[in-house]
Amino acid sequence: MKVFSDVSSIDDTLRGAVLTVGNFDGVHLGHQRILRTAHALAKVSSAAVMAMTFEPHPIALLHPDSAPARLTPWEEKLLQLERYGADAVVRLKTDWPLLSLTAEDFVREVLVKRIHPSYIVEGPNFGFGRQRKGSVETLRAMAAKGGFQVHVVEPYRLHRADGSSLIVSSTAVRDLLARGDVATAAECLGRPYRLVGSVVHGAGAGRTLGFPTINLATGEQLIPAEGVYSGWAEVAGLRRPAAISIGRRPTFGGDKLLVEAFVLDESGDWYAERAALELVSFLRPQQKFADADALARQIGDDVRRVREMASHETAKPGVSA
């Protein structure tokens, strides 16, 4: 997959690409439907599929106090965009000159002049340009003169086992994670939610309990609700079941929010390594135990439940398990 830091660097081989524009935070099932549609359109004319995204999120400049927490850091977003069909990604730097462009100027000066897309594929609620005044109707009005066609993809509605349904969106995924509902969030994403970052030094409390943990620094990524989760850890080429704790160590009087994982059947020193934690299911809320022994007994039970989870899942192809 080709990655471009601005439109001026796009090479001529990508002229006529099938283009989709958006933030793609999470690369959830709705985004995946758009990418699949773009791929089907591109296949007919042997064109490339191009995703254009913005870094940082425009709201981070327009309303920094209300900017949403990220579901997918940049490298993770790239990984998922490639996984779901993008041949090229254009990363536009979000700055005031870009945000000041009218919707019409954005189409003329950025999309048509630089990319010459054959199709632009978007959801029905796509908004762009200054004050987000542009819409799919704006694209349709400019399509003939711009030499492209517009294809609108309906949002993905997730039908759940309990008979309820929800429209998949980045906001919906954030809300689910904020409640600790990582299982439904995984349904919306088409995969478990991944926390990614670097392994950092902790206080060593887990080791004293007989359950040494890795501590993950996650940067600006959204951290789900406090609690203990079953999941998987990926670090140093390994993929192993893990009991994942998000909390403040109430038994030890902690106050700092920490992301820790006890990696089953491994005890490597992975400091400074990049790692990922996939959250599969919520096991229990955080709680303060009477003493360290009581906490150790509970962790032992958590680990047993993680083993049960792992026994029902198949390790990903090509990764040690």
pLDDT digits (tens, 9 = 90+) for 197-244: 999 988 777 777 889 999 999 988 999 999 999 999 999 999 999 999
pLDDT confidence of residue 315: 44
Q: What are the Cα distances from residue 220, in Å, to 22, 63, 67, 172, 227?
A: 19, 16, 11, 18, 19
Tally DSSP H helices, then E strands, for the chain. 11, 14
Instruction: Identify the pLDDT of residue 37.
Output: 98
Residue pair 198/273 in contact (Cβ under 8 Å)? The answer is yes
Nearest to 274 by CA among 91, 73, 90, 86: 73
d(CA 307, CA 149): 51
Give the pLDDT score at 152: 98
For position 166, what pLDDT does the model report? 96
**CA gap 98, 280 in Å, rounded:** 39
> Residue 281 pairs with which residues in a beta bridge?
230
Q: Which segments in the chain show pLDDT lower than 70?
A: 314-321
Reported residue count of the chain is 321
Average pLDDT score over the chain: 93
- What pLDDT, on a 0 to 100 scale, did the predictor assign at position 203? 74
Token pair for residue 123? 């959801």
Joined tokens for residue 291: 């003493």
DSSP SS3 for 244: strand
Starting from the edge strand earliest in sequence, which strands make up the sheet with 88-93, in order?
A: 2-4, 88-93, 49-55, 18-21, 119-122, 149-152
